[in-house]
A and B are shown apart, each in its own frame.
Chain A
Amino acid sequence: MPYIYADPLECTGCRICELICSFTFEKVLNPKKARVRVRRLEPAIDIPIVCRNCEKPPCVDACPTGAMYKSPKTDIVLVDEKKCIGCAACVDACPFGAVFLHPDKGVAVKCTVCGACVEYCPVGCLKKVQPSRTAVEKQYTYAGKVRRSVVANLKVPEELKSE
């Protein structure tokens, strides 16, 4: 289940990702047509809301026509626009608010993890992640934090201690 993620304290809320997304898919600059929506809340929260391609996607379960499905090849949830009747059952079912109805076409739209927004994020905080790797990276971040106190008592060259 790959998905796009940014830390809410790293994201500055510039919403360049929204415009890049809407232009990539729709050739127009319109945040309401973007598959990613940055939500700002006081205090200090700026968070890009994007489909997480859940292991057990409630939107797929909720879809009455089978328009919403998970691609077995890419592990990404997709919408078959021909089958979609615009009933918004998927919108109701998604716990993140990451599925939207297209304002003109009335069909469900969502992130396909194409990565265009990642490429243009000026902060570099927007990332394409896999939860299996997320945990590994967090483990190393934590290891880095304890490193200094542990290494301080080891008989290793001094320059290794200050790193």
Chain B
Amino acid sequence: MSLAIETHNLGKRYGDVTAVNSLSLRVAEGEIYAFLGLNGAGKTTTIRLLLGMVKPTAGYADVLQTRVQPGRREPWAAVGYMVEDSRAYPELTVYENLEVARRLHPGVLPKAVDDMIEQMGLSAYADRRARTLSHGNAQRLGLAKALLHAPQLIILDEPSNGLDPAGIVEIRELLQSLVREHGVTVFMSSHILAEVARLADRIGIIHEGRLIQELNISELERDRKRLLVLAVRQLALARTALEAAGYTPLLHADGAIALEDASAIDAPDIIASLLVQAGAPPTRLMVEEEELEQYFLRLVGLEAGVQNE
């Protein structure tokens, strides 16, 4: 398996501030890799390092098996990207902006511009100046510029920023079809786990410049906390009974009891009979899976929600 992106202890310091710290990433060809982190976690700096826009202060990055160095021409013919918010020349039309992007990629035929306008649903705006575009359409233009030269590797910084729900679905489907039909590799950053969980094959979580976890989508399902949530009328009675049986009841939101014990989650029927026998029958009993965003916040150490009493 060859790697589309490989970084080795990549780091970037600005004076005393460490933006990216000892980052070792491996993105296989043909996969969708989501790079997840809160604002300021180092996502954009990492992307700029990968694109040779800033020099690393430690380590190195290989993109499409080429060492990234400032001002080099390789490997950019096969890389499409969008960094931060999409910007275009305001005085040029959508068509002209794409024509500029085309000429920056020698060998791309003029027809690619028309095709891309159609593919991104920008036909109605082709002759509009970029300054008049809505945020969503400006974002589409940015994506069109990134995809124009049919790159092998697409690096996108928060691609769904500013898109409406229909646009988000559309971009997701577009990226999936590029991966499926053309074997393209996608490296995208996001701060919303739920958004990338549907799209990515693998997720890397960055916090304060460090890669704190890398996981496959299947691992994501496995690692999320599960809880057995019980609502009862006699709260004290139920807690005593559960503690007597060796469980550790936690106070859940809205006055319910939560159990993290795997034995309880796997056998809620036993818990139900236990409570009935104790004279505190459950009025509600359900297995709750941790919300993705909560899981993400737990990973980066900003947990909220379940609390020990």
Question: Are chains A and B native binding partners rather than an unrelated pairing?
Answer: no
Interface residues of B (CB under 8 A from A): none
Interface residues of A (CB under 8 A from B): none
